Amino acid sequence: MSNETNRIRQVIPIVNEVSPTFCLAKWHHTNLYLHTGQTHSCYHPAPHNIPVGDLKGNPSALHNTLQKKKERAEMLVGEKPSGCQYCWNVESLGDDHISDRMIRNASIYNPERLAEIKSSDWKLNVNPEYVEIAFSNECNFKCGYCHPASSSSYYSEVKQHGPVPNVKNHSITVTNLKPFEEGNNLYIDAWWEWWPELSKTLNILRITGGEPLMHKSTWQLFDLLRQEPKPHLELNLNSNLGIKTAMVERLVENVNDLVSNNKVKKFKLFSSMDTWGKRAEYLRTGLDIKLWEENLDKYVQGTNGDITFMCTFNILSVTSFVDFLQKVLEWRKKYHDIDIANNHPNAGRRKIRFDTPHLKEPLQYDMNILPKKQFLPCFDSILKFIEDNQDESDVTKFSDLEYERFRRVRDYFANTEYSEEKLVEGRRDFYTWFKEYDVRRNVNFLETFPDMESFWNLCKGYHEQL
């Protein structure tokens, strides 16, 4: 058992003594979307609105909303907030499966933090241990399963063409969507008001978007950390790495200054990738895979830092995910060899990491609308590839936790049965959505995913029955 999985197994019985549904993330983990005025505790529950009136005199209400407090009260007595269904589904697969509730509890847990919650009223205002923040939706990508609220490019497309007609899922209307501009946003004002108090105890701050390297507030934060260092703070950033190389070079300069001069504790970069090559470019309109890999190399070699790939495993990942995993092994070997040659202490850890949460919505991107008999072998092949290249002690190979994370994806696909009505709905939307997607973005699904032609025709048949 790896150190990571071992810690998870040790912590879970402790926090489960509070209740079997208790999750520290509801108190100490928050995602803030300041451009829309919304929050949630992790990416599984849907975001909810932050009442702007609650911020007056209490900027911590960016996180401590009444909705979260009510969900905390439910968890304290063993009830299951509906937004956390993803983890309940994983845990229902059996005791040997590790849910994100378990992973987050293990990462956030310490005895003092748990004791404070147990001894306090559920109405307690908490300064979280972990904050993920988006200042703006400005982005040069428009990933298909994303939303105009998180991508200005997607917003512009929908303003021009309107929402995709005749689909039930993935409402991308922008009629009532008006993201706040960075320079005129009460939620950003509340953030800077909260920062002096929050930053005293905050352990991890993760900046996301949109594309945060295109946001003025990101660079404002870098400047602030230079002037007022937070040597206890781990700073993380999500980037699509598809931006101009000059921005990556500027990032490298900032990271090296902040880390080498102890102005932050450490820095981690995150990027998204769900498959590889032309298929990845199809999924993420705006992606140039060659530029992306060049920027990856510029960052890793320029900072000697870690990077984690967030793989939102979806229906278009299924037949080609091994291609991406092969690249992971290639990068791990390459950067490990460079570290060994330079006698660098980073040689003892996995600098290239990845996680594989599966996508839940929109339905046309959900792997569970695929025919089980035909596509389960793809999942088995992926898991077998990981297993064949798994070695906890070898940083160029896959870890035990990476194997476990994908095993739960495989088992969830194998054990999840949608109703006939939901399957028909999802498959009709699949054909309608990607047919229009090809027109709007000048791409071709069947040329890009020829191994999914039979599924395409199946979905086309459901569409023609309308």
What are the tens digits of pLDDT across the range 301-340? Answer: 999 999 999 999 999 999 999 999 999 999 999 999 999 9
The pLDDT tens digits of the residues spanning 234-270 come to 999 999 999 999 999 999 999 999 999 999 999 999 9
**pLDDT mean over 273-294:** 98
Euclidean distance between CA atoms 16 and 37, whole angstroms: 32
pLDDT of residue 387: 98
Is residue 200 exposed (0-12), middle (13-18) or buried (19+ Cβ within 10 Å)?
A: exposed
- If one compares 108 and 377, the residue with the highest pLDDT of the two is 377
- If one compares 5 and 432, the residue with the highest pLDDT of the two is 432
Euclidean distance between CA atoms 89 and 84, whole angstroms: 9
**Which are the contacts of 98, defined by CB distance < 8 A and separation ≥ 6?**
5, 8, 90, 401, 404, 405, 408
The pTM assigned to this predicted structure is 0.89
Q: How many alpha carbons lie under 13 Å from residue 360 in its C-beta half-sphere?
A: 12
**Which are the contacts of 347, defined by CB distance < 8 A and separation ≥ 6?**
336, 339, 340, 395
In this prediction, residue 1 has a pLDDT band, given cuts at 50, 70 and 90, of: low
pLDDT at 295 over 70: yes
The pLDDT tens digits of the residues spanning 18-53 come to 999 999 999 999 999 999 999 999 888 999 999 999
Instruction: Return the structure tokens found at 343.
Output: 């006698």
Name the DSSP class of 61.
Answer: G
Q: Helices in 229-320 by DSSP H: which ranges?
A: 245-260, 278-283, 289-303
Q: How many alpha carbons lie under 13 Å from residue 382 in its C-beta half-sphere?
A: 27
pLDDT at 112 over 80: yes
Averaged pLDDT of the chain: 95
pLDDT of residue 465: 86
* Strand stretches in 45-92, DSSP E: 48-49
Amino acid in the structure at residue 428:
R
In this prediction, residue 433 has a pLDDT band, given cuts at 50, 70 and 90, of: very high
pLDDT at 2 over 80: no
Question: Can you tell me which residue has the tokens 């040329």?
Answer: 447
